[in-house]
Chain A
Amino acid sequence: DIQMTQSPSSLSASVGDGVTITCRASQSVRSYLNWYQQKPGKAPKLLISAASRLQRGVPSRFIGSGYGTDFTLTISSLQPEDFATYYCLHSHTSPSTFGQGTKVEVK
């Protein structure tokens, strides 16, 4: 199975800050990399698919990039509603596997 490693596991930031989350795959997943946002008590929400494709209705401050084994999710200017946990998920081969998550907290 392909292992997905996210870093950092948590970070503290303020409204207006730019933040970057990294996801690394144990082998190439080409561009089959997706990002989710999850708020407490809620189901995950798909933000970005195919490494950089923003889902409909997702603000443009969310930016995904990368290919192969190294990927990033950047939030260009944090808004109050962005404090949440973020997960990457590869969908290259079965089984699809998630990263362990990155919690974005208020500084």
Chain B
Amino acid sequence: EVQLLDSGGGLVQPGGSLRLSCAASGFPFTSYTMNWVRQAPGKGLEWVSGISGSGDAAFYADAVKGRFTISRDNSKNTLYLQMNSLRAEDTAVYYCAKDIYSGRVGYFDDWGQGTLVTVSS
């Protein structure tokens, strides 16, 4: 059974940093692109970033490019999202999501439970 456990959310001031983690189990982690998808309070879903199974290709939405960095540790089956220069509009629940592809971003067949990031002074 696929399990994705998101963690690392919290309250951070504008301009601050936060690192999210997603611990994965139940599938061959290196075989799949992994993604972060977010949902602002009361709003829809927004893909944020993805990283290929090998970790050699990273993809970002324009809204976070240059501020967020996605990475993965395949020895620990863990996905990360380093978020810098945070803004109020980054406030959202962040979901880790497993892709169906290995080398690109496609669509997402398994999701974590989400972790809430609140950017506020």
Contacts and interface: CB of A to CB of B under 8 A. Distances in A.
Interface of A: 32, 34, 36, 38, 43-46, 49, 55, 87, 89, 91, 94-101
Contacts of A96: 47, 105-107
Given A97-B47, A98-B45, A101-B44, A49 B113 contact: no
Q: Which of B45, B104, B109 counts the most A-chain CB atoms under 10 A from its CB?
A: B45
Given A43-B95, A43-B112, A43-B113, A91 B44 contact: no
Is the interface on chain B under 10, 10 to 19, 20 to 34, or 35 or more residues?
10 to 19
B59 to A, nearest CB: 6
A91 B45 contact: no
A92 to B, nearest CB: 9
A95 B107 contact: no
A66 to B, nearest CB: 15
Tell me the dominant secondary structure on chain B's binding face.
Answer: loop
A44 to B, nearest CB: 6
Given A94-B59, A95-B59, A46 B108 contact: yes
B41 to A, nearest CB: 12
Contact of B107 (A45, A89, A100, A101): A89
Interface in B60-107: 61, 95, 100, 104-107
Given A43-B95, A43-B114, A98 B46 contact: yes
17 contacts: A43-B112, A44-B111, A45-B111, A46-B108, A49-B100, A49-B107, A55-B109, A91-B106, A91-B107, A94-B104, A95-B47, A95-B61, A97-B47, A98-B44, A98-B45, A98-B46, A98-B47
A99 B61 CA distance: 15
A98 B95 CA distance: 14
A6 B95 CA distance: 22
Contacts of A45: 111
Nearest to B49: A95
B109 A46 contact: yes
A34 B105 CA distance: 13
B47 A43 contact: no
Contacts of A91: 105-107
Contacts of B44: 87, 98-101
